[in-house]
Structure 1
Amino acid sequence: MNVFAVPDLPEIRPGDDIGALIRERVDVQPNDVVCIASTIVSKAEGRTMDLDSVVAGDRAVEIATRLARLTDDEKDPRFAQVVLDESVDLVMDAPFLLTETQFGHITVNAGIDRSNVPDADLLLLPSDPNTSAVSLHESLGAPVIVTDTCGRPFRFGQRGVAIGWAGMPASRDWRGEYDRNGHELEVTVESVVDELAATANLVSGEGDGGTPVIVIRDFEFGEHEGSDNLFREYESDFIRQALQEWEFEQ
């Protein structure tokens, strides 16, 4: 597998054609997987916001006040309001906001970013990353993964994850296949789009790298069944159920 960054991309503005900008710089092959940071997808789609335009409701004021008390750090209730607006469920409200976005991704602060946003206070996640990925897939003629950086339960640090994809399954389904000892695999479903997103993040990096698009060449999915299940449903997400029964105490 060969992994490389698309060079010399400009600062993305609303309305920019990301697919065209990539094609101008790289001869994308049909079997490439193009991993595109959600930040530039959001910028192209105009998903920015200024806090001056936000009016905080009572719930947002309550959340910000409580978090400020718990963390000894001032919290802006307008930011809390934007998080609530971008979410369909508040999984945790202390000591930080863990939410389910409108497209099913569970992340801190609804994935709202404050870094590398030159013309606004906040950068929101794409409203529908799968739809964004489909459009980019059609433009590029290759599978596309829209990526974000996300923390992990039980482990320190962040890594790249997929929040949207098109042109390939989300997962390899190994169930029904066999290991070397002839034992049938019963539960193994490998989240390929997350693994490729994490691979891309190794090359794109964080901070001021300025390389938000990564091409993964010569990846082979293999002769496996595919699955598009990525976000676990509430009924089988026992950790989420437990979190909603838990209350933070300082």
Structure 2
Amino acid sequence: MITIEALHNFPKIERKCNLGAEIIRTIKNEEFNIRDNDILCIASKLISKSEGLFVDLNSINPSQVALRLHQQIPRKDPRLIQIIIDQTGDKSGKELQISNNFVGGWLSNGLFLTSAGVDKIDADTAIILPKNCDEIAKKISDDIFDHLKVRVAIIITDSDGRIDKKGATQVAIGLYGISGLRKSQYQDKTNVETICDMLAASAGLLMGQTGKMLPIVKIHGIDYVFDKSATIRDAVN
């Protein structure tokens, strides 16, 4: 049986901290049962806050490219647009895709995310994604093993929208311990599923969006082989 369960009463993270230690402390305090080969899905905003990846919008001077794009998407603060451009690594804005009120960006690791993974958390502050979520996922998994002697896979998830659909879902942007792809054979055909996104979306059923305060979700009962070499790049074109 596959079960999905949120870790409750996790402390609100507002500054850089040792996230692995906070997770372990909460698991102990809540007597949260985790076992080998469980999968912990962790919201990217929690990761970013624990890494201290805050950006003061008042320090941002929008370029002419950002100001021009602001004319297309006036709901977006031009300073925020500049940060989105910066996250793609292309100052020309060519790594962005804009359609009506949607803006998405290609990151250097090959992922395409709404607003290039940039979130505005208050009037003067934005938050960006870490450069390597796989490394962070590995560190958290190793910390849990060192302190609790349980080997779990980690999937870092991000809220993401699509041009063709309303609302948002959850996708994987970093992982450790579980392959991003699941392959199966039927007759002479090989089927490939993006299992990391399927699991991220499943966790999203409990995580919800901003304000629900359930940033860590455990998935139990998935049959997989623990893979220390797995990275999100395996699932990216």
Question: Which bin holds the TM-score, normalised by the shorter protein?
Answer: 0.7 to 0.9
Cα gap change, 1:148/1:58 in structure 2, threshold over 3 Å: closer, same or farther? same
CA displacement at 1:94 relative to structure 2: 4.3
Cα gap change, 1:145/1:120 in structure 2, threshold over 3 Å: closer, same or farther? farther
Match of 2:68 among 49, 62, 72: 62
Aligned counterpart, 2:148: none
CA displacement at 1:193 relative to structure 2: 0.9
Cα gap change, 1:25/1:150 in structure 2, threshold over 3 Å: closer, same or farther? same
User: Helix, strand or coil for the counterpart of 2:119?
Assistant: coil
Partners of 2:48 and 2:130 within 8 A in 1: yes
Partners of 2:176 and 2:230 within 8 A in 1: no
TM-score by length of 1: 0.78
Most deviating of 58-67 and 208-217: 58-67
Q: Distance in 2 between matches of 1:154 and 1:118?
A: 28
User: Helix, strand or coil for the counterpart of 1:149?
Assistant: strand
Q: Which runs of 4+ in 1 moved over 6 A?
A: none
1:130-185 deviation per Cα after TM superposition (whole angstroms, max 9, x unaligned)? 122121121123100000111235443321110000011111122xx22xxxx222
Aligned counterpart, 2:103: 97
User: Helix, strand or coil for the counterpart of 2:105?
Assistant: strand
CA displacement at 1:204 relative to structure 2: 1.4
Q: Aligned AA for 1:47?
A: L
Q: Does 1:191 align with 2:194?
A: yes
Q: Any gaps of 5 or more consecutive residues in structure 1?
A: 233-250
User: Helix, strand or coil for the counterpart of 1:86?
Assistant: helix
Q: CA RMSD in A?
A: 2.4
Q: Distance in 1 between matches of 2:163 and 2:62?
A: 30
Aligned counterpart, 1:243: none
Larger Rg: 1
Q: Share of identical aligned residues, percent? A: 27
Q: Distance in 2 between matches of 1:140 and 1:184?
A: 41
Q: Distance in 1 between matches of 2:60 and 2:122?
A: 19
Q: Does 1:41 align with 2:47?
A: yes
Q: Aligned AA for 2:5?
A: F
CA displacement at 1:227 relative to structure 2: 7.5
Aligned pairs, number: 216
Match of 2:167 among 157, 164, 168: 157
Q: Does 1:212 align with 2:191?
A: no
Q: Which has the higher strand share?
A: 2
Most deviating of 96-105 and 203-212: 96-105
1:55-95 deviation per Cα after TM superposition (whole angstroms, max 9, x unaligned)? 11121122113433xxxx5x432111111101145242443
The equivalences for 1:101-120 within 5 A come to 101-114=107-120, 117=121
Partners of 1:6 and 1:22 within 8 A in 2: no
1:190-246 deviation per Cα after TM superposition (whole angstroms, max 9, x unaligned)? 111111111111011123111100011222127xxx9852122xxxxxxxxxxxxxx
User: Helix, strand or coil for the counterpart of 2:37?
Assistant: coil
Aligned counterpart, 2:143: 139
Cα gap change, 1:137/1:119 in structure 2, threshold over 3 Å: closer, same or farther? farther
Q: Distance in 1 between matches of 2:122 and 2:84?
A: 20
User: Helix, strand or coil for the counterpart of 1:165?
Assistant: strand
Q: Distance in 2 between matches of 1:91 and 1:78?
A: 15
Q: Any gaps of 5 or more consecutive residues in structure 2?
A: 28-32, 146-151
Aligned counterpart, 1:168: 178
